[in-house]
Amino acid sequence: MIKLLRVDHRLLHGQVAFSWTSKLGADCILVANDDVMQDEMRKTAIKFAKPANIKLVMKTIDGAIESINSGVTDKYKLLVVVESIEDAYKLIKNTSAFTSLNLGGTRPKENTRSISKVVSVNEEETNLLKELIKDNIEVEIRMVPEDTKILAEKVL
């Protein structure tokens, strides 16, 4: 069962590894990212950030889609973490497993605007989020579970 899909440009770090897994009762973290699968140093850093009692799986975006659709992830209470809104969009559009999306942090880039203290979006990302909202996906902004949930539709 998927407990949360989170966008966080840092992928796995203290807030995700401890705050979210504890709050959700997650027993497995799936990091879905194409670049990480090619970078041994990033893989090692992610492994160090994982809590001792939590299973960690790292896959490409396509690999994550295949695993979720096959049902192999169904036995876990799963926290899925991706680096970008585009990656989250691909997961949501290519599976039927997600009803919500947590925006936990995106890196400010050229031509982005801030919609919260930790989330910046460009026009393309804004359009992707609006499409997800139109498709009845709840898109919310929250760094940690204790923060007040802000619905993206109110700030886009």
Model pLDDT, residue 17: 85
pLDDT at position 85 over 90:
yes
Answer whether 115's CB lies under 8 Å from 141's CB: yes
The model's confidence at residue 16, banded by pLDDT at 50, 70 and 90, is confident
The phi and psi torsions of 90 (rounded to 5 degrees) equal -60, -45
pLDDT the model gives residue 30:
98
Average pLDDT on 19-31 reads 96
**What is the sign, positive or negative, of the torsion defined by CA atoms of 58, 61, 62, 67?**
positive
Per DSSP, the three-state class of 12 is coil
Mean confidence (pLDDT) of the chain: 96
* CA nearest to 72, candidates 87, 53, 59: 59
Question: Which of 118, 91, 113, 122 minimizes the C-alpha distance to 103?
Answer: 118
Q: What is the mean pLDDT of residues 105-125?
A: 95
Domains by residue range for the chain, with CATH:
2-154 (3.40.35.10)
Asked if residues 76 and 55 have their Cβ atoms less than 8 Å apart, the reply is yes
Dmax of the chain from CA atoms? Answer: 41
**Closest Cα to residue 11, out of 61, 46, 40, 60?**
46
First to last CA, the chain: 29
Please tell me whether the overall predicted TM-score, pTM, comes out greater than 0.85 for this model.
yes
Q: Give tens-digit pLDDT for 31-75.
A: 999 999 999 999 999 999 999 899 999 999 999 999 999 999 999
